[in-house]
Copies of this chain bind each other. A is one copy, B any other.
Amino acid sequence: MKTDKQDAPVNLLDVAREAGVSRATASLVLRNSPLVAAATRERVQQVMQRLGYIYNRGAANLRQNRTNTIGLVLSNISNPFFSTLTAGVEEANDASEIVCFIADSAESPERQARQIQRLREHNIDGLILCPAVGSDERVIADLDRLGLPFVQVLREIPGCARDYVTVDYAAGIDEAMAHLVTAGRRRIVFIGNFSTHSAARARLEGFNRAAARLGLPSLPVIAGGRDNRYDEAALDEILASSEPPEAAICYNDIIALAVMGHLRRRAIGVGSDFSVIGMDDLSSASASYPALTTIATMPHRVGEAAARLLQKRISRPAKRSEQLVITPRLIVRESA
């Protein structure tokens, strides 16, 4: 015969009775209010400990209209970039006793809408969102209608100047291009552009502008596809042309690693004959051979920044919106 378990979870009234105080006093102890005498506090805390009391935030939320939860809705949580971003969010939250719901829109605006709705029903205090490809202003309008604080990460729904954390892709690509030119490369190709979200556009535009500024010949962009694919045939074609590229900047590290493998199968020396630069600096970038030169976009930092910005927004709903831009850094290894 065990002791009483979940038959009746101990609540604040039980604690109060046992400690010989009122519910209100026990509640104050719970929230570390200075209004309660040290001795009383001590006694109540001991009772809580002894009875195995668990603070029922659900009940508190109902009263306070604040849940200390946020939502994190990403377009693809199994992507290592996003999982590191998630870790950053976590870290910032851990400090502030916030707990985080996670959802994966899998790039589907409909699924994303469902998930936001669901989180909304759970009364999240705020939302960090990387909008699925194809999301439009209605998402933002919805959030506004509900008065739900949110910050966008990496991608931005066009035409809404709101809280936003992103990476200065153009700056990273500038640095990478400069590095390539210094090494004597001039025919540089961009590989793997696919989606038309703001982060993808920023990369391609950054590439084109840098190429123009440096007076480099313009080569066709090698298209990308779903799930970090790219058009291998197009790459082969351009490699076989009379003026083949000498270097590539890739949409991300995953594509860069695939490109490296492809080049080496074609017996093209990566780093010597041909330079490859990736983007993100995933852990697999440093482990590859040759080690991948890449533009570190610091997902952990992006996540932390987004979580902190959201906290600010939640505490000051009317404050001016803020755009945070994380500056990436070129990590030179062996591939370029």
- Give A contacts to B, CB under 8 Å: 5-6, 52, 54-59, 61-62, 67, 69, 72, 76-80, 82-84, 86-87, 90-91, 94, 97, 99-104, 111, 114-115, 117-123, 145-147, 228, 254, 257-258, 260-261, 264-265, 282-284, 287-291, 300
Contacts and interface: CB of A to CB of B under 8 A. Distances in A.
Contacts of A114: 94
Contacts of A79: 83
Given A78-B84, A78-B86, A265-B289, A57 B283 contact: no
Contacts of A254: 283-284, 287
Given A62-B62, A99-B122, A100-B102, 19 more contacts: A6-B146, A52-B146, A56-B121, A57-B122, A57-B123, A58-B58, A58-B61, A58-B122, A72-B102, A76-B87, A82-B83, A83-B83, A99-B119, A100-B103, A102-B102, A228-B283, A257-B287, A258-B287, A264-B289
A58 B63 CA distance: 10
A99 B118 contact: yes
Contacts of A288: 257, 261, 288
Contact of A90 (B59, B77, B97, B264): B77
Contact of A257 (B61, B82, B284, B300): B284
A54 B120 contact: yes
Contact of A58 (B86, B123, B258, B264): B123
A101 B104 contact: no
A121 B36 CA distance: 23
25 contacts: A57-B122, A58-B58, A58-B122, A69-B101, A77-B90, A78-B86, A80-B80, A83-B83, A83-B86, A86-B104, A87-B104, A90-B104, A94-B114, A97-B118, A100-B101, A101-B101, A102-B102, A228-B283, A254-B287, A257-B284, A260-B289, A261-B291, A282-B284, A288-B288, A289-B289
Given A58-B122, A111-B94, A265-B289, A87 B78 contact: yes
A279 to B, nearest CB: 15
Interface centre among A5, A58, A97, A257 (most CB of B within 10 A): A58
Nearest to A317: B6
A29 B90 CA distance: 37
A-B CB proximity, top 3 nearest:
A83-B83, A261-B289, A6-B147
A123 B60 CA distance: 12
